[in-house]
Amino acid sequence: MSPQPEDSPAAETAEPPPYSPQERAELLRLAHEAIESAVAGRKLELTPTSQRLLEPRGAFTTLHLEGVLRGCVGYVYPVKPLYRTVAETAAAAAFNDTRFLPVTAEEASRLKVEISVLSPLLPIAAEDIEAGRHGLVVTLGSRRGLLLPQVAVEFGWDARTFLEETCHKAGLPPDAWERGAIIEAFTAEVFHEEGFVVGG
């Protein structure tokens, strides 16, 4: 893939101001409430207090239990208001991530939540990827793989390894990006509650 010119939008994604501590706390609380409501079989009342939480944003909700991944589901594209995206992805991570059994009522109270709010996707050249800063989406035909930026940090991957692992996530060869696969990048504002531990 040919290099992107320096003034290309792929070279630098526009990053909105971070969410306030109050907005972050509200989203984390909402994620827990969505899971607990689903466990109890009751309807969740969604009443965001911040205007920014009404803005459409892509986001992923990641759940850990005692330091071990327990579920992760997200929307890549900004198809719904952020507060609704977080509520839906939290419940889906708890009950619909096919890698895991559904969360039990006992587990629900012990889950730790991490939320990643995504920037818009932009095309990027392989040489412009920054491990730990960019998340990646690799697409070829009907196959698509996504990895969040914090995954590269967690595993200590450099940019090339991160790209190859994203190809692998899509079910593609590690060099699929040299065979016509499309690479798109995003950044993410990542926050979690106290006690969230990876690999405990």
Q: Where are the domains of the chain?
A: 21-118, 122-187
User: Which residue spans within the chain are E strands per DSSP?
Assistant: 59-65, 68-75, 112-118, 122-123, 135-140, 143-147, 182-186, 188-192
Residue 196's pLDDT is 66
| N-term to C-term CA, the chain | 39
Size of the chain, expressed as the number of residues it contains? 200
- Could you tell me which residues come within 8 angstroms of residue 76 by beta carbon, excluding any fewer than 6 positions away? 58, 118, 121, 137, 146
pTM, rounded to two decimals: 0.85
Higher pLDDT, 160 or 47: 160
Q: Given this chain, do its domains 21-118 and 122-187 carry the same CATH topology?
A: no
Say if CB 67 and CB 197 are below 8 A apart: yes
pLDDT at 193: 87
Give the pLDDT confidence score for residue 47 in this predicted structure: 86
CATH topology of domain 21-118: Glycoprotein, Type 4 Pilin (3.30.700)
pLDDT at 8: 39
> DSSP 3-state assignment of 146?
strand
pLDDT tens by residue, 78-126: 999 999 999 999 999 999 999 999 999 999 999 999 999 999 999 999 9
For range 143-166, the mean pLDDT = 96
Q: Is 81 helix (H, G, I), strand (E, B) or coil?
A: strand
Per-residue model confidence (pLDDT) at position 49: 87
Does the domain formed by 122-187 have CATH 3.30.1490.150? yes
Task: Give the tens place of pLDDT for each residue, 8-64.
Answer: 344 454 567 899 999 999 999 999 999 999 998 898 888 888 999 999 999 999 999
Cβ atoms 20, 99 nearer than 8 A: no
Average pLDDT over residues 122-138: 96
Are 149 and 133 contacting, i.e. CB atoms less than 8 angstroms apart? Answer: yes
Amino acid at 158: D
Rounded to the nearest 10 degrees, the angle between the axes of helix 21-40 and helix 82-95 is: 40
Report pLDDT for 48. 86
Given this model, what pLDDT does residue 144 score?
A: 95
Report the candidate in 42, 31, 24 with the shortest Cα–Cα distance to residue 74.
Answer: 31
Distance of CA 123 to the CA centre of its chain: 18
